Amino acid sequence: MVSPNHRGIFSMLLSFWLLASPVLAIWPQPSSISTGESTLWIKSGLSVSYNGKNGGVGRAMNNIIHKNFVPWMLYNRMELEATEPSLFKPKTYITHLDITQTGKDSSKTFKPLAGEVDESYTLNVDKRGKASITAVSSTGVLRALETFSQLFYQHSKGAYFYTTSAPVKITDKPEYDHRGILFDVSRSFFPMESIMRTIDAMSYNKMNRIHIHMTDSQSWPLEIPALPELHEKGAYARGKTYSPSDLATIQRYAVNRGIQPIIEIDTPGHFGIVALSHPELVAGWDSTPWTSYCAEPPCGQIRLNEPKVDPFLDTLMEDLLPRLSPYSAYFHTGGDEVNFNMYSLDPSVGTNDSAVIVPLLQKFIDKHHARVRKTGLVPMVWEEIPADYNITIGKDVVIQSWLGDEAIASLTADGHKVITSNYNYWYLDCGRGQWLNFAGADLETYYPFGDWCTPYKNWRLVYSYDPRANLTAKQAKLVLGGELAAWSESIDDATIDDILWPRASAAGEVLWSSPKGRAQIEAAPRLATFREFMIARGVKSATVHMPYCTQGLNQTACQYL
Amino acid sequence: MVSPNHRGIFSMLLSFWLLASPVLAIWPQPSSISTGESTLWIKSGLSVSYNGKNGGVGRAMNNIIHKNFVPWMLYNRMELEATEPSLFKPKTYITHLDITQTGKDSSKTFKPLAGEVDESYTLNVDKRGKASITAVSSTGVLRALETFSQLFYQHSKGAYFYTTSAPVKITDKPEYDHRGILFDVSRSFFPMESIMRTIDAMSYNKMNRIHIHMTDSQSWPLEIPALPELHEKGAYARGKTYSPSDLATIQRYAVNRGIQPIIEIDTPGHFGIVALSHPELVAGWDSTPWTSYCAEPPCGQIRLNEPKVDPFLDTLMEDLLPRLSPYSAYFHTGGDEVNFNMYSLDPSVGTNDSAVIVPLLQKFIDKHHARVRKTGLVPMVWEEIPADYNITIGKDVVIQSWLGDEAIASLTADGHKVITSNYNYWYLDCGRGQWLNFAGADLETYYPFGDWCTPYKNWRLVYSYDPRANLTAKQAKLVLGGELAAWSESIDDATIDDILWPRASAAGEVLWSSPKGRAQIEAAPRLATFREFMIARGVKSATVHMPYCTQGLNQTACQYL
């Protein structure tokens, strides 16, 4: 279906639309799909067989029957009632859903390193109402069930659900192994529902990694039983914390949806908040003017030459990591934006000279990564550690890059595995202006108060990104995937859905389907349809465009001409 | 309280904060306010006297008791429980709320022209729990009650409500008479709840005009009983319409909250949709390439020399205007973006020559404004009518300007009344990228797909706008106020709250308080507090910044330094 030739797609869509029903619009685009023009109905109580098990069947049926929508915005204007399938003609129902899992799940299925789980599947729905899924792993079954749930719309007359595209034949598998969202619960506190709603939405997009940026200089919401003073002094308020049981709830909720939770405790930068309970561990807490010492207030980094740091990190990691390893293959050690000036304020370092700092940082990283590996986890780091500070790290380490294409080219040339959060495309907090306030002469200097990574990353821009652009085949293989970053200096529960969706969906398709050609014209109607599934399921996604552009024949009208 | 000297405000805030309770943070800032340090409690059942009546008392009490919030994000980190008022000490309650209306309401109170209603009030709350309001009009009473409701926070232990700022003495009045939001229900359809929630939120911001852009080329959602074919052909779908009873509901809901509904039927441009029911009235419906004939698809304008136009508009206006005039002093006739090229496609005009078109347009406007005046309403128009097309209009007409400071200077120099929606500051749909799709060579040409009015209008930018900048006193008097524009090509119910708030709040304060100096440092903590009131009342406003920046002593920490 995916073609770089938009004129071809235009006429193809047009011919579909003359049938006056919505085309089948699966998001992200499957590797291969063929559809027909027969109508099938579905209701609860169909016969399901599955030689394995997971919660996917119940959730898919619940989404079809209880969280569906009447697609008035997909039919031609005012033609829904006249052209949707008649309730008064004989109906063919889906009678069977047969699920065959051809492989055996292992613990790696639920906490895979990149490439360790097979997410492929096939889905067939024949004209007589027999649906079948095959997949190697239970994760593949989950992906198939998500696709299955996107086949059906609700009828305008009530609780009747149909597809007009039977028979359907789909074979599908992801292009990238790491398809994630970075969720920052430290700058703003997010209630559990917010995280779980995001996990649900990610599963609709077939995404498979939720990277939780758990702590930062602004707050420490994570309860560490061995070090309760961390949250008692460092959370924003009582109750604005994640208990061990909350963490386990998030982990299980994610894993049950084929999503691996990856926890980040950022070190040695972005660590200021620990000064409130352990001042001896932190250099330059809340230094001013903060612009001289860190990227945003309040400043604070781990001291690099202070003997109390190692025992503290030992205690922290011995408490936390064994609670992560049952659900995760990775632990993110942070490593971004370490400010060398700050170490002039650290009496045990006393200089900003990199000749002094880098060897100390090397020692710090070596020890810290050893802690992570000891628990069977693979360390992740931000790219500055190897790229800017020249620290030597293991080839097992996955590097999260955010500074753009050149950084990825150079890291992969060195043989490192990377995931990309290229800020030019995938930083979702960008382009909405400053969250800092300005006074005095700065009011004029910084007018009109744009942020550092403007412009806003519209879904079309998100969608235009190719994580493997201009890489050799060998380098490309080292790009495991990517993550959309939702840094939360200016985002909280009230608006997180709008920030993430449908923009993260666009990236979800880049990572699942690798749509070469990046054809907005082909993608827009499908994304607009999928957006309505998200809305119906309680995710307050922004629009793709107005209903004028989504209705029937108009689906290609909103093109710049 | 308002001072251009931010250092003075910094130390004033600091001294307040050493008391460790949230300062009283009324939004928009009252003309004059003095506060103390005594605690008062409030519960339902206090004695209320009022020599007039409106629903404001019930709503204010409901907001205080049932839609309040525990202000953990305003107290110092982790200090809420230790520093909020004790439940175990004797409590002084508000016992009385005495409301005195000193003037008599008239029909003008409920549908005033600019300046015809006095919205001023005084509010006093003494230390012993006696509260009193005086106002000239019932609208002033509504404004006072809104301020009153912002005095109280919820206690962390449950349904207890307090202020720590008694005694409170406030005198207040608006700077501008027209403080509005343009709500576009044509590009996207909005359910009634969405409009009513916005009216509620506007009332929290003491705004007083909701301008409903009711029809456009994309859809005609308004039911006109005399011309039912308009919505039957032109709505997006069945049920996506506003019946006469829906319209009356919106009107009454708004007027009861001190907000005047102003309906716009845009003419002669932005009228394409009428071609579906009355093709003989419309030039250039859906012409392509649309960029040659209109600002966005689908194109379509009223024909200027077609005899059937007048009887049609007579019928339309005779149906609609008598339903508007009981609630509105104004009717908006539109007039923006009339594309002269389109009239080459109109056989009765047949040219794009302005020497031919302008006299026809003058005739059109004269007749149309006469229809409006006949029903006792004052016409409003978009600025292009007088400014770009040189049409002569009456001095009664209120002109809505969107093209910036020069346009306002020139219109007011000519003696016209204006309201401003300067797109450089107050176009809320801007800066989130294109809603059009791109293909072929355009993918490269228009990368990264920014929209025409980028950047995004962050609240700091919205707040920096002075509608009367660089005008003479005589000209300034003609600037009646302004409207924030929420054009809905890329906005619907799912995200309208995030689009409007807190940015429209920033403009609300510009229009109510005219904060010279535009001190972000002073405004940010108040706006962050007010945002939490909106969230508690069910309005999903975006953040001002993260909790780190709103907590206690940190309220000045998030400054660029």
pLDDT at position B515 is 86
Interface mutation vs chain B, best among A153, A526, A548, A550, most B CBs within 10 Å? A548
Chain B residues whose CB is inside 8 A of the A543 CB are 188, 435, 490-492, 494-495
Q: How far apart are CA A339 and CA A271, in angstroms?
A: 12
pLDDT score of A9: 44
Q: Which residues contact B350 (CB under 8 A, 6 or more apart)?
A: B343, B344
Q: In chain B, what residues touch A276 (CB-CB under 8 Å)?
A: 77
* Residues in chain A closer than 8 A to B238 (CB atoms): 72, 78, 80-81, 156
Give B389-423 as a DSSP string. Answer: T-----TTPEEEE-S-HHHHHHHHHTT-EEEE--H
Structural domain boundaries of chain B? 22-173, 178-513
Q: Which residues of A touch B459 (CB under 8 A)?
A: 433
Q: What is the CATH number of domain A26-173?
A: 3.30.379.10
- CA torsion through residues B274, B275, B280, B282, sign: positive
- Give the nearest partner residue to B432 out of A297, A442, A458, using CB atoms: A458
Q: Which amino acids of A are annotated catalytic?
A: 337
Above 50 in pLDDT, residue A475?
yes
pLDDT at residue A148 above 80?
Answer: yes
φ/ψ of residue B416, rounded to 5: -85, 145
Choose, out of A453, A460, A461, A516, the residue to mutate when testing the contact with B (most B CBs < 10 Å). A460
- Amino acid making up residue A83: T
Residues of A in contact with B540 (CB under 8 A): 494-495, 540
**Interface contact B6-A440, CB threshold 8 A:** yes
Q: Of A52-56, A211-215, A494-498, B395-399, where does mean pLDDT reach its minimum?
A: A52-56
User: Which distant-in-sequence residues (6+ apart) come within 8 Å of A403 by Cβ?
Assistant: A383, A387, A422, A423
Interface touch A237/B540, C-beta < 8 Å: no
Candidates A449, A494, A540; nearest CB to B460: A449
Mean pLDDT of the region A217-222: 98
In A, which residues are within 8 Å of B218 by CB distance? 546-548
Report CA-CA distances (Å) from B14 to A136, A234, B21, B23: 63, 22, 11, 10
State residue A516's pLDDT score. Answer: 72
pLDDT of residue B517: 63
Residue listed under structure tokens 């209109």: B294
Length of chain A: 561
For residues B443-454, average pLDDT: 96
pLDDT digits (tens, 9 = 90+) for B547-559: 999 998 777 899 9
More confident residue, B10 or B91: B91
* Alpha-carbon distance B96 to nearest alpha carbon in chain A (angstroms): 34
pTM of the model: 0.96
Residue of B nearest to A9 (CA): B439
Residues 6+ apart with CB under 8 A from A293: A284, A287, A299, A339, A341, A342, A345
pLDDT for position A7: 37
| pLDDT of B232 above 50 | yes
Q: What percent of chain A has pLDDT over 90?
A: 92
Q: Span B205-212, mean pLDDT?
A: 98
Look at residues A432, A431, A440 and name the one whose alpha carbon lies nearest to residue B520: A440
Closest CB to B433: pick one of A77, A460, A541: A460
Which residues from A are below 8 Å from B434, CB to CB? 458, 460, 560
CB contact under 8 A, A546 and B218: yes
Whether the bond between B298 and the residue before it is cis, its omega within 30 degrees of 0, is: yes
- Measured between CA atoms, how close is A557 to chain B, in angstroms? 7
Closest CA to B72 of A232, A274, A239, A229: A239
Average confidence (pLDDT) over A496-517: 94
Q: Which residues of B touch A446 (CB under 8 A)?
A: 560
Chain B residues inside the 8 Å CB shell of A528: none
**CA distances in angstroms from A384 to A340, A390, A419, B199, listed in the order given:** 12, 8, 13, 49
CB contact under 8 A, B449 and A439: no
The pLDDT value given to residue B12: 45
How far is the alpha carbon of A550 from chain B, nearest alpha carbon, in Å? 11
B122 min Cα distance to partner chain A (Å): 31
Round to whole Å and give the CA distance between A267 and A301: 8
Nearest to B504 by CA among B559, B462, B547: B462
Name chain A contacts of B232, Cβ cutoff 8 Å. 78
Tens digits of residue pLDDT in B148-171: 999 999 999 999 999 999 999 999
CA distances from A142 to A137, A152, A333 (A): 9, 17, 30
Candidates A236, A426, A444, A553, partner chain B, best to mutate (most B CBs within 10 A): A236
ipTM attached to this prediction: 0.95
Q: Given a cut of 60, is residue B10 above it in pLDDT?
A: no
Rounded to an integer, the average pLDDT of A126-142 is 98
Average pLDDT over residues A394-423: 96
Mutate to test the interface with B, among A72, A231, A543, A556 (most CBs of B within 10 A): A543
Q: Do B541 and A494 touch (CB under 8 A)?
A: yes
Amino acid at B402: W
B3 pLDDT more than 80: no
Q: What is the rounded average pLDDT for all residues in chain B?
A: 95
> Which 8-state DSSP code applies to residue B152?
-
Question: Are A439 and B6 within 8 A, CB to CB?
Answer: yes
Tell which residue, B408, B397, B412, B396, has the closest CA to residue B478: B412
User: What is the mean predicted confidence (pLDDT) over A69-96?
Assistant: 96
Min Cα distance A118 → chain B (Å) is 34
Using a CB-CB distance cutoff of 8 angstroms, which residues of chain B are in contact with residue A458? Answer: 432-434, 448-450
pLDDT of B24: 84
What is the reported pLDDT for B239? 97
Q: Inter-chain contact A541–B494, Cβ cutoff 8 Å?
A: yes
* φ/ψ (deg, to 5) at A149: -70, -20
Q: How far is B497 from chain A (nearest CA, A)?
A: 9
Indicate if the pLDDT at residue A4 is higher than 50. no
- CB pair distance less than 8 Å for A80 and B442: no
Residue B62: pLDDT band (50, 70, 90) is very high
What per-residue confidence (pLDDT) applies to A554?
A: 78
B178-513 homologous superfamily: Glycosidases (3.20.20.80)
Residue of A nearest to B450 (CA): A455
Q: Find the CB nearest A437 among B234, B520, B547.
A: B520
Cβ contacts from A onto B, under 8 A: 268
> What average pLDDT does the segment A259-286 reach?
98
Contact A78 B236 (CB under 8 A): yes
CB contact under 8 Å between A464 and B443, yes or no, is: yes
Q: What is the pLDDT of residue B552?
A: 87
Check residue A20 and give its pLDDT.
Answer: 55
Topology of B22-173 in CATH? Chitobiase; domain 2 (3.30.379)
Structure tokens at B287: 């012409």
Span B504-524, pLDDT tens digits = 999 999 999 998 767 999 999
Distances (CA, A) of A283 to A279, A288, A303, B376: 8, 13, 5, 71
Angle between helices B192-204 and B503-513 (to 10 degrees): 40
Quote the mean pLDDT of chain A: 95
What distance in Å separates residue B458's CA from the closest CA in chain A?
Answer: 5
C-beta atoms surrounding A279 within 10 Å = 10
Residues of A in contact with B443 (CB under 8 A): 464, 518, 520
For B290, the closest chain A residue by CA position comes to A561
pLDDT at B101 over 60: yes
Probe site for chain B from A427, A456, A518, A521 (most B CB atoms < 10 A): A456
Q: Which of A74, A560, A561 to mutate to test the interface with B (most CBs of B within 10 A)?
A: A560
Look up residue A527 and give its DSSP letter. Answer: H
At residue B14, does pLDDT exceed 70?
no
Q: Do A548 and B219 touch (CB under 8 A)?
A: yes
Please judge whether A447 and B464 are an interchain contact, meaning their C-beta atoms are less than 8 angstroms apart.
yes
Query: Out of A219, A540, A561, whose CB is closest to B288?
Result: A561
Q: What are phi and psi of B101, to 5 degrees?
A: -100, 120
* Residues of chain A above pLDDT 70, percent: 96
In Å, how far is B417's CA from the nearest CA of chain A?
28
Cross-chain residue pair B219–A547, CB shorter than 8 Å: yes
Residue A552 pLDDT: 87
Residues 6+ apart with CB under 8 A from B30: B147, B170, B171, B172, B513
The C-alpha of A560 sits at a distance from chain B's nearest C-alpha, in angstroms, of 6
Catalytic residues of B: 337
Where does the pLDDT of residue B284 fall: very low under 50, low under 70, confident under 90, or very high at 90 and above?
very high
CA distance A45 to A547: 34
